[in-house]
Amino acid sequence: MMQFLSITTIQTNLHWEDKQANRNMLEEKILGIKEKTNIVVLPEMFSTGFSMRPELLAEKMDGETISWMRKIAKTRSIILVGSLIIEEDTKYYNRLIWMLPTGEFGFYDKRHCFSLSREDEHYTSGTKRLIASVGGWKVNLCICYDLRFPVWTRQVIQSDPDQEPAPEFDLLIYVANWPEVRSNAWKILLQARAIENQCYVVGVNRVGNDVHETKHSGDSMVIDPLGEIVYHQTENEHIQTIVIDKVKLNTVREKFPFWLDADHFLITD
């Protein structure tokens, strides 16, 4: 069991639809991280930007970008997190990868495709959540537009008759290409997800303009279980390592056991 978990956020501009350039840029940034860290989080569609051209850009699960993630995770002994465009069974997915330093990985397909940008016309929605585990921490992994739908990320209280009730996860991670014009919603909703789930929340967003002149202000954040902002960076490229504390998390949940009064529900398709 790990009391402390170190998370490094990489808020960066992206090269539009240039996978090699993005991999090279991100590799330099990751290898340059001086602090010891457990998890490194990249923005949504980190290898291409938020493109609606999956037929030209999608990779298979044995493609170059997955291989690159495996190499970087092993080299730095980190868990590497970010989403990219994947083709599988003739369908396209905005798929988040949780890459372990051993080369093993889990993945999550974005549940809520962003219809305003016609993402739902190009990509297939996911149907299952991914709650990963590291050192006794349970991590719920989500992508951008998922943030607007609290039921999808709501704590489900574990009700094993042989164990005490417990929250389903301790940390929520959102990777995003969230535009500046709606940055107020991004910031408020990240805090709301932390408060209602009594967990840490990490949101990593890109900066810069994409090819459509959509501006991204970053506003990457880390928020504690009380909704207090631990880290916030706007506008500029920035790399930050933040340490979160399991004892603090447990203390909040013990002092304010609101999660015990939560509604019981089941998400279905």
DSSP 103: S
The Cα 207–Cα 9 span in angstroms is 13
**How far is the C-alpha of 232 from the C-alpha of 39, rounded, in Å?**
18
pLDDT digits (tens, 9 = 90+) for 81-107: 999 999 999 999 999 999 999 999 999
Q: Where are the domains of the chain?
A: 4-261
Is 0.95 surpassed by the pTM of this model?
yes
The Cα–Cα gap between 196 and 103 comes to 34
Shortest CA distance to 144 belongs to which of 163, 126, 167? Answer: 126
Residues marked as catalytic: 44, 110, 144
pLDDT 10s digits, 38-55: 999 999 999 999 999 999
pLDDT bracket for residue 267 (50, 70, 90): confident
Residue 246 corresponds to which tokens in the numbers above? 């399991």
**Within the chain, what is the greatest distance between any pair of CA atoms?**
55
Could you tell me if 144 and 44 are in contact, meaning their C-beta atoms sit under 8 angstroms apart? yes
Show Cβ contacts of residue 235 under 8 Å, excluding neighbours closer than 6 positions.
207, 217, 218
What CA–CA distance (Å, rounded) separates 223 from 36? Answer: 21
CATH class belonging to 4-261 = alpha beta
